[in-house]
């Protein structure tokens, strides 16, 4: 099973590729000399693909994601979106952070509007408001448009975070353990919310998670990173469940425990 | 209904009143009785204790002063003069009363005198206004300055002048300190280049600020005949008190949550939007902490500055009474002291209310 699940590194046609990390390197200077977090990291993500990334704590997952987001400078190699090298952050790459990072003094609507205003600057006020309301509705917050973010629960705040990211229609969506801080019940709800919107929009997504079940449930492909230093992609696993998926169907599928065991074996290795 | 009442009392800082409301509704009578004892009865007892110590202290000082007067008379003019002095003091004659720390009753008396005085002056002002109304109308139509009341200001007038001055100084401080703080906070280069200046200017005493402002304003207003004492005092107050706001604003702006900055970066907000939609709102709590300090410093130095600048207000009231040395001068000074303290406290409460109003977190407010 192993060999057939692993995709060849450069197995995609150029026209299929949305996001390309080639020979990526990251070095943090420390008082004790340079610390090479990532080296020779190659990863390609297809259009409309949802990948999840797992790996040991401290291996450099956040570092990699923040480099894709443009928030962290690249030490070597490169990152391109649709063939264009990225230069700094930009709204073509939406980010859902681990903490919701909403402006607590703004309403839910205004938080979503912040990005929409920026990206759809030529739309009328009504159109922009409709976009915000559409996505807030999609994440199940129709009653809370005008609540200030500080008054929302963690789970509701992260819903707004999801709406904010989708509303600017990015080419790539980056998620760094977005549900890590939530209790398991809320986490399940938000996974459903996320995957439901995603099924509609099919935005190329890269999501870091520590939760193996979450990784399988959401992804077309699970990417495993080796432990640092000099971390790179260690292995990949294609998840062949058809979409749209339901949690029940996924768990009852014959391959589910095979996938699960494969990932856990990698992590425990 | 009374839940709302409780909320309001808490909001304006009268939270200690809450158990009374709760008890009157019959809620948890034991717990609320203890709370009342703790939050209302105990403070009241402390006020009584304070008055008692004050009374005893002033009595003791009075006795010392009286004895020394009698002794002085004895040493200077002999037995008969000493006896005469004793009789004079005991008779309560104003001409020979020992002049020392006044008792609570005397201070209360002075307070009433000041209020009466205010009423008299007010009536006088009103009469003056009626008398000159027609004349002034005529003068303005001729393009001349109207005749204004030049009589002595009352105690209440002095208070109002002081409050006006402190607000003017505070506004000046806001308009100077907040922009400076924001600019310095945004740029670490500016922050390190101007840090020395801020650190040096921050501890400069109000007296020096006053002299500095005096030099500048005197030159600038040389040929105009407007009264510059108001300008001098409020500008000095503003300059002296603004540093807490500069420092706090800079700190707030420079320590905005990294997540917010990242959001602004990912959304590629314009510099203007970044400052006004993200950085300023998130540093508002710290800015307001600074403003609150600024306000209380402003009120504190105002009295000293008025006293030195001889500009009207509570400061000069205190100074004039001190120089005056009349029989009830000391009592009036103590009245002024309480008024200054209470107004300062109320102004601080006001700032606290505004602060809790603008801060966004649910449990903010110090
Ligand atoms: N700014 C920095 N300077 C120096 N070292 C850093 C910096 N940021 C991260 N590191 C180091 O780089 C390594 C990778 O960190 P990173 O946050 O990317 O890990 P991670 O895989 O996201 O971990 P986790 O799963 O716990 O979130 C860690 O060893 C960390 O200590
Ligand atoms: Mg991380």
Quick one: which of A156, A189, A188, A191 has its CA closest to A175? A191
pLDDT higher than 50, residue A158 = yes
CATH at residue B359: 1.10.3720.10
What percent of chain B clears pLDDT 70, i.e. is strictly above it? 96
Question: H-helix or E-strand containing B111?
Answer: helix B104-141
CATH at residue A231: 3.40.50.300
Q: What pLDDT is attached to residue B26?
A: 73
Q: Please tell me the pTM assigned to this model.
A: 0.78
Taking a C-beta distance cutoff of 8 angstroms, is the pair B255, A83 a contact? no
| Residue B297 and residue B267 share a domain | yes
Virtual CA dihedral for B138, B140, B145, B149, nearest 10 degrees?
Answer: 60
Quick one: which of A100, A53, A41 has its CA closest to A210? A53
Virtual CA dihedral for B44, B48, B51, B57, nearest 10 degrees?
Answer: -140
Angle, CA A96 vertex, CA A92 and CA A97 arms, to 5°: 125
Give the residue-averaged pLDDT of A188-203.
92
Question: Does the C-beta of A37 come closer than 6 Å to ligand 1?
Answer: yes
Instruction: Give the burial class of A200: count Cβ atoms within 10 A of its Cβ; 0-12 exposed, 13-18 middle, 19 or more buried.
Output: exposed
Tens digit of each residue's pLDDT (9 = 90 or more) over B311-356: 888 888 888 888 887 778 888 899 999 999 999 999 998 888 888 8
**Which ranges of chain B have pLDDT less than 50?**
362-366
The DSSP symbol for B15 reads: G
Alpha carbon separation from B105 to B51, B118, B184, B325, B330 (Å, rounded): 10, 20, 53, 19, 13
Q: Nearest by CB to B360, from A94, A101, A104: name it.
A: A104
The HSE-up count of residue A200 (CA atoms within 13 Å, CB side) is 12
B185 token code pair: 């906070």
- State the distance between the two ends of chain A, measured CA to CA, in whole angstroms: 18
State the count of interchain CB pairs (< 8 A) between A and B: 62
What percent of chain A clears pLDDT 70, i.e. is strictly above it? 96
- Tell me, yes or no, whether A142 lies in a domain: no
A interface with B, Cβ–Cβ < 8 A, is: 69-71, 88-91, 93-95, 97, 99, 101, 103-106, 114-115, 118-119, 148, 150-151, 168
Q: What pLDDT is attached to residue A1?
A: 38
- State the distance between the two ends of chain B, measured CA to CA, in whole angstroms: 27
| Residue B341 and residue B221 share a domain | yes
- Tell me, yes or no, whether A182 lies in a domain: yes
Chain A residues closer than 8 Å to B260 by CB: 101, 103
Give the ipTM: 0.85
Does the beta-carbon distance from B262 to A148 stay under 8 Å?
no
| Residue B165 and residue B118 share a domain | no
Most informative mutation of A63, A65, A210 for ligand 1 (most atoms within 8 A of CB): A63
Angle, CA B148 vertex, CA B146 and CA B152 arms, to 5°: 175
Cis peptide before A229 (omega within 30 of 0): yes
- Atom nearest to A61 CA in ligand 1: 21
Ligand 1 centroid–CA A58 distance in Å is 5
Does the beta-carbon distance from A89 to B361 stay under 8 Å?
no
Q: What is the mean pLDDT of chain B?
A: 85
Alpha carbon separation from A220 to A175, A189, A199, A212, B256 (Å, rounded): 15, 20, 12, 13, 37
pLDDT higher than 50, residue A224 = yes
Q: How far apart are CA B205 and CA B202, in angstroms?
A: 9
Using the 3D structure, point to which of B112, B135, B150 is the last residue of a domain. Answer: B150
Contacts of residue A117, Cβ cutoff 8 Å, sequence gap at least 6: A128
Q: What residue's CA is closest to ligand 1, atom 5? A: A28
| Residue B85 and residue B69 share a domain | yes
Q: How far apart are CA B252 and CA B63, in angstroms?
A: 56
| Residue B319 and residue B220 share a domain | yes
Total domain count, chain A: 1
pLDDT higher than 60, residue A5 = no
Ligand 1 centroid–CA A256 distance in Å is 31
Cis peptide before B273 (omega within 30 of 0): no
DSSP A105-158: TSBHHHHHHHHHHHHTTTS-HHHHHHHHHHHHHHTT-GGGTTSBGGGS-HHHHH
Q: Domain of B123?
A: 102-150
| Residue B346 and residue B217 share a domain | yes
Question: Does the C-beta of A136 come closer than 6 Å to ligand 1?
Answer: no
Name the H helices within chain A.
2-5, 61-69, 108-119, 125-138, 154-167, 184-201, 212-218, 247-252, 256-268
Tens digit of each residue's pLDDT (9 = 90 or more) over A130-147: 999 999 999 999 888 999
DSSP A4-15: HHSPPTT-S-GG
Q: Domain of A235?
A: 47-72+83-92+170-268
Taking a C-beta distance cutoff of 8 angstroms, is the pair A36, A8 a contact? no
Bridge pairing between strands A221-225 and A233-238? antiparallel
| Residue B30 and residue B64 share a domain | yes
| Residue B54 and residue B91 share a domain | yes
Q: How far apart are CA A35 and CA A54, in angstroms?
A: 21
| Residue B342 and residue B193 share a domain | yes
Q: What pLDDT is attached to residue B224?
A: 64
Alpha carbon separation from A165 to A142, A192, A220 (Å, rounded): 17, 16, 20
Chain A residues closer than 8 Å to B263 by CB: 95, 97, 101, 103, 114
- Tell me, yes or no, whether A163 lies in a domain: no
A104 token code pair: 């607590």
Q: What pLDDT is attached to residue B106?
A: 87
Q: Looking at the CA of A66, name the nearest ligand.
A: 1
Minimum CA–CA partner of A148 in chain B: B360
Contacts of residue B216, Cβ cutoff 8 Å, sequence gap at least 6: none
Give the residue-averaged pLDDT of A86-112.
91
Minimum CA–CA partner of A167 in chain B: B267
Q: In the sheet that A84-85 helps form, which strands lie side by side, from edge to edge?
A: A33-46, A17-30, A76-81, A84-85
Q: How many other C-beta atoms can be found within 10 angstroms of the C-beta atom of residue A246? A: 12
Does the beta-carbon distance from A69 to B277 stay under 8 Å?
no
Q: What pLDDT is attached to residue B218?
A: 81
| Residue B91 and residue B112 share a domain | no
Taking a C-beta distance cutoff of 8 angstroms, is the pair A233, A43 a contact? yes
| Residue B200 and residue B280 share a domain | yes
Chain B residues closer than 8 Å to A104 by CB: 360-361
Quick one: which of A228, A100, A85 has its CA closest to A159? A100
- Tell me, yes or no, whether A226 lies in a domain: yes
Q: In the sheet that A204-208 helps form, which strands lie side by side, from edge to edge?
A: A93-96, A172-176, A204-208, A50-54, A221-225, A233-238
A196 token code pair: 């439901």
pLDDT higher than 50, residue A9 = no
Does the beta-carbon distance from B267 to A118 stay under 8 Å?
yes
Does the beta-carbon distance from A97 to B269 stay under 8 Å?
no
- Measure A31 CA to nearest chain B CA, in Å: 22
- Measure A268 CA to nearest chain B CA, in Å: 32
Quick one: which of A79, A90, A89, A131 has its CA closest to A109? A131
- Atom nearest to A64 CA in ligand 1: 18
Chain B residues closer than 8 Å to A106 by CB: 277, 281
A78 token code pair: 């490169």
- Atom nearest to A55 CA in ligand 1: 21
- Tell me, yes or no, whether A178 lies in a domain: yes
Taking a C-beta distance cutoff of 8 angstroms, is the pair A20, A32 a contact? no
Give the residue-averaged pLDDT of A73-95.
92
Q: What pLDDT is attached to residue B48?
A: 93
pLDDT higher than 80, residue A6 = no
Q: How far apart are CA A196 and CA A97, in angstroms?
A: 19
Quick one: which of B234, B238, B236 has its CA closest to B208? B236
Q: How far apart are CA B329 and CA B333, in angstroms?
A: 6
| Residue B282 and residue B180 share a domain | yes
Total domain count, chain B: 3
Q: Quickly state the pLDDT bin for A4 (edges 50, 70, 90).
A: very low
Alpha carbon separation from A130 to A136, A199, B269 (Å, rounded): 10, 20, 21
Chain A residues closer than 8 Å to B361 by CB: 104, 150
């Amino acid at each position: 099973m192993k060999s057939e699940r692993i995709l060849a590194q450069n197995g995609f046609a150029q026209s299929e590729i949305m996001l390309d990390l080639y020979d990526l390197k990251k070095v943090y200077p420390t008082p004790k000399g340079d610390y090479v977090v990532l080296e020779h990291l190659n990863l390609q993500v297809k259009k409309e693909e949802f990948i999840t990334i797992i790996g040991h704590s401290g291996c450099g997952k956040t570092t990699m994601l923040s480099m894709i987001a443009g928030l962290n400078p690249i030490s070597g190699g490169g990152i391109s979106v649709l063939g264009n090298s990225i230069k700094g952050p930009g709204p073509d790459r939406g980010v859902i952070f681990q903490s919701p990072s909403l402006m607590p003094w703004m309403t839910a609507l205004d938080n979503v509007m912040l990005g929409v205003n920026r990206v759809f600057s030529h739309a009328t006020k009504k159109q922009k408001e409709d976009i915000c309301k559409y996505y807030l509705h999609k994440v199940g917050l129709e009653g809370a448009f005008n609540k200030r973010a500080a008054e929302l629960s963690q789970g509701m705040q992260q819903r707004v975070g999801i709406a904010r990211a989708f509303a600017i229609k990015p080419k790539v969506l980056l998620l760094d353990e977005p549900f890590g801080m939530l209790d398991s019940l809320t986490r399940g709800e938000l996974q459903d919310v996320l995957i439901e919107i995603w099924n509609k929009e099919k935005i190329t997504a890269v999501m870091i998670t520590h939760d193996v079940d979450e990784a399988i449930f959401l992804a077309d492909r699970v990417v495993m990173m080796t432990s640092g230093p000099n971390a790179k992609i260690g292995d990949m696993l294609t998840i062949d469940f058809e979409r749209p998926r339901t949690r029940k169907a996924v768990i009852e599928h014959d391959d589910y425990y095979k996938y699960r065991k494969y990932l856990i074996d990698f992590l425990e290795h | 209904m009374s839940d709302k009442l409780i909320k309001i009392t808490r909001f304006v800082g009268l939270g200690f009143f809450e158990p009374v409301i709760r008890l009157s509704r019959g809620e948890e009578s034991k717990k609320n009785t203890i709370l009342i004892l703790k939050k209302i009865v105990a403070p009241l007892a402390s006020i009584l204790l304070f008055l008692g110590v004050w009374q005893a202290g002033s009595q003791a000082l009075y006795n010392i002063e009286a004895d020394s007067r009698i002794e002085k008379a004895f040493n200077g003019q002999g037995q008969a003069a000493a006896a005469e002095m004793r009789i004079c003091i005991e008779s309560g004659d104003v001409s020979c009363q020992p002049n020392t720390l006044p008792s609570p009753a005397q201070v209360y008396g002075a307070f009433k005198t000041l209020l009466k005085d205010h009423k008299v002056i007010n009536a006088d002002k009103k009469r003056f206004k009626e008398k000159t109304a027609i004349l002034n109308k005529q003068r303005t139509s001729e393009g001349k300055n109207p005749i204004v009341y030049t009589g002595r200001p009352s105690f209440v007038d002095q208070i109002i002048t002081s409050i006006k001055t402190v607000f003017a100084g505070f506004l000046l401080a806001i308009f100077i300190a907040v922009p400076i703080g924001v600019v310095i906070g945004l740029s670490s280069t500016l922050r390190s280049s101007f840090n020395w200046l801020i650190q040096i200017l921050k501890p400069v005493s109000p007296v020096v600020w006053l002299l500095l402002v005096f030099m500048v304003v005197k030159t600038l207003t040389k040929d105009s005949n407007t009264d510059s004492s108001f300008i001098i005092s409020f500008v000095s107050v503003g300059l002296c008190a603004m540093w807490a706001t500069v420092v706090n604003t800079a700190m707030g702006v420079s320590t905005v949550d990294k997540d917010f900055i990242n959001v602004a970066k990912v959304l590629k907000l314009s510099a203007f939007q970044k400052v006004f939609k993200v950085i300023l709102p998130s540093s508002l709590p710290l800015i307001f902490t600074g403003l609150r300090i600024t306000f209380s410093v402003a009120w504190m130095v105002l009295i000293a500055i008025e006293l030195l600048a001889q500009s009207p207000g509570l400061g000069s009231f205190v100074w004039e009474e001190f120089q005056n040395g009349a029989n009830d001068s000391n009592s009036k000074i103590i009245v002024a002291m309480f008024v200054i303290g209470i107004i300062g406290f109320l102004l601080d409460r006001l700032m606290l209310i505004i602060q809790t109003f603008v801060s966004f977190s649910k449990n903010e407010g110090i």
